């Protein structure tokens, strides 16, 4: 089972004089009884993972130990185990073996099995890192998992050379930086097999930029990436899907329920959807188009009719158009109501009743004009434009010559069909370059 964890930021843990030790130091240790006889070998520690309130310390309490006695593996309560440390060597004694019930085991989280060596997402560094060790502390009320170690020192400790390396480096006044993540900031993502639900699961992931989430999803395994993507709301999921590589987009859409996938696609620009569906099997693409609402589906179908080397194939139909008789004040009211994406504000268009393009203006023209001025007085007549059936190669020359961020696209009747945004042109060229390299 693959388990992935999310962490909010990297913090160094301030330790007290209480007994602190590492998971790597106790795993494989023999536990001794009060009479000094060996009882068994410690294979794993069980931490309470059932949420009973925000920041509840009992959620990180070590409740059990997986012990191998002869050839049998059993779970026992950790309450009767005592961990002491002398000269960096751990000793484990047990006053009584109290076997745990199945429910107690199922409600816990095994540190070796589910945490150690597993990937976590560093929310501060916006990247995947690996848990090299877990730090624990013994307090009068019990033993707790207090942090995960994602630093180099943790890795060196695991292979038993941390102390000699640190002593050697200290001669040259070089320190190995410690990097810990507080346990409170570790959030489980996929515990479906353990029937565990953590109260803050997924919450902090949503604060990342869509491109950061996309990078993380591409680094995760297929199962975990699906689990994370399915947790996103439709708006965030749509933004993330746009940022993913084509292969990752296809994997997501092929594994999401059709209705969920259609809902996400409806939140995306039609040209982006067309690009993705163009990569899917025809049957799957048609299934998604039928599930989408009529208006969104129709826009995508129209774009799919263009050949890949034509301007119409990369234009977006998400644009802003207004009547020449409207005032600046009326346009601003409409913009506040629509709350358009930033790319839609690169260039705004003026059309006649039959959608014929007659002018364009930008955000600066709007802002510096008086509220009662009409659009006809601020627009540029006969704007530079592209035909939807022109070759894609014509775009670069036009954009470069006129220094444009967005160019209107019209048909043979001069009716506005969409616009080409410079961002999409760059993305299209980048995608083709990656494809050619493969």
What digits encode the pLDDT tens for the residues 14-34?
Answer: 434 457 899 999 999 999 998
How does 370-409 read in b/e, with b if 16+ C-beta sit within 10 Å? eeeebbeebbeeebebbbbebebeebeebbeeeebebbbb
Q: Residue 229 and residue 231: Cα distance in Å, rounded?
A: 5
3-state secondary structure of 149: strand
Q: What is the pLDDT of residue 10?
A: 45
Q: What is the pLDDT of residue 147?
A: 86
Q: What is the pLDDT of residue 352?
A: 94
Q: Residue 294 and residue 277: Cα distance in Å, rounded?
A: 16
How does 2-18 read in b/e, with b if 16+ C-beta sit within 10 Å? ebbbbbbebeebeeeee
The residues of the chain that CATH labels 3.10.580.10 are 321-436
Q: What is the pLDDT of residue 431?
A: 56
Q: What is the pLDDT of residue 124?
A: 62
Q: Where would I find the H helices in 181-340?
A: 210-219, 222-231, 234-243, 246-255, 258-266, 270-277, 282-291, 294-304, 328-338
Q: Residue 104 and residue 293: Cα distance in Å, rounded?
A: 48
Architecture of 208-305 per CATH? Alpha Horseshoe (1.25)
Cα torsion through 231, 235, 238, 242, rounded to 10:
-120
Q: Residue 250 and residue 266: Cα distance in Å, rounded?
A: 16
Contact 47, 107 (CB under 8 A): no
Q: Are strands 5-7 and 119-122 parallel, antiparallel or unpaired?
A: parallel
Residues forming a β-bridge with 11: 180
Collect all residues with Cβ–Cβ distance below 8 Å to 95 and sequence separation of at least 6: 33, 34, 80, 82
Q: What is the pLDDT of residue 205?
A: 67
Q: What is the pLDDT of residue 160?
A: 76
3-state secondary structure of 65: strand
- Chain segment 229-257, per-residue pLDDT in tens: 888 889 999 999 999 988 899 999 999 99
Q: Are strands 180-182 and 186-188 parallel, antiparallel or unpaired?
A: unpaired
Q: Residue 10 and residue 14: Cα distance in Å, rounded?
A: 13
The answer to pTM > 0.75 is no
The residues of the chain that CATH labels 1.25.60.10 are 208-305
Q: What is the CATH number of domain 321-436?
A: 3.10.580.10
Contact 172, 91 (CB under 8 A): no
Angle at 64 between CA 61 and CA 66, to 5 degrees: 140
**Closest to 381 in 3D by CA, of 364, 363, 400, 361:** 361
- Residue 101 is classified by DSSP as P
3-state secondary structure of 275: helix
| Count, residues in the chain | 438
> Which residues of the chain are under the pLDDT cut of 50?
1-17, 52-54, 188-201, 434-435
């Amino acid at each position: 089972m693959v388990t992935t964890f999310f962490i909010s930021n990297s913090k160094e843990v301030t330790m007290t004089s209480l007994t602190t030790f590492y998971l790597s130091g106790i795993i494989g240790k023999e536990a001794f009884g009060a009479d000094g006889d060996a009882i068994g070998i410690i294979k794993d520690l069980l931490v309470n993972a059932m949420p009973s309130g925000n920041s509840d310390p009992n959620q990180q309490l070590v409740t059990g130990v997986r012990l191998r006695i002869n050839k049998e593996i059993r779970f026992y309560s950790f309450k009767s185990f005592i961990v002491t440390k002398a000269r960096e060597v751990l000793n484990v004694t047990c006053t009584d073996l109290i076997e745990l019930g199945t429910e107690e085991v199922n409600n816990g989280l095994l540190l070796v099995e589910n945490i150690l060596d597993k990937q976590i997402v560093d929310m501060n560094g916006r990247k995947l890192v690996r848990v090299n060790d877990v730090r624990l502390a013994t307090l009068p009320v019990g033993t707790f998992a207090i942090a995960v170690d994602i630093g180099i020192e943790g890795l060196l400790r695991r292979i038993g050379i941390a102390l000699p390396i640190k002593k050697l480096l200290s001669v040259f006044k070089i320190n190995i930086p410690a990097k810990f993540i507080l346990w409170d900031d570790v959030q489980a993502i996929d515990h479906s097999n353990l029937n565990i639900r953590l109260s803050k699961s997924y919450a902090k992931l949503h604060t990342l930029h869509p491109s950061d989430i996309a990078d993380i999803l591409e680094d995760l395994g297929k199962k975990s990436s699906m689990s994370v993507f399915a947790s996103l709301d439709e708006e965030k999921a749509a933004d993330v899907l746009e940022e993913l590589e084509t292969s990752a987009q296809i994997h997501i859409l092929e594994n999401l329920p059709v209705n969920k996938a259609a809902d996400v696609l409806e939140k995306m620009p039609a040209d982006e959807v067309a690009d993705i569906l163009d990569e899917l099997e025809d049957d799957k693409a048609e299934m998604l188009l039928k599930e989408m609402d009529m208006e969104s589906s129709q826009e995508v179908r129209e774009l799919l009719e263009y050949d890949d080397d034509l301007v119409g194939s990369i234009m977006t139909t998400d644009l802003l158009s207004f009547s020449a008789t409207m005032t600046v004040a009326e346009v601003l009211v409409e913009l506040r109501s629509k709350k358009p994406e930033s790319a839609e504000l690169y260039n705004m268009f003026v059309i006649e009743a039959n959608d014929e393009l007659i002018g364009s203006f930008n955000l600066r023209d709007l802002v510096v004009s008086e509220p009662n001025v009409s659009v006809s007085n601020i627009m540029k007549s006969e704007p530079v434009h592209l035909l939807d059936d022109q070759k894609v190669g014509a775009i670069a020359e036009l954009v470069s010559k006129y220094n444009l961020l967005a160019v209107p696209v019209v048909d043979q009747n001069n009716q506005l069909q969409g616009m080409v945004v410079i961002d999409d042109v760059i993305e299209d060229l980048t995608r083709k370059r990656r494809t050619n390299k493969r």
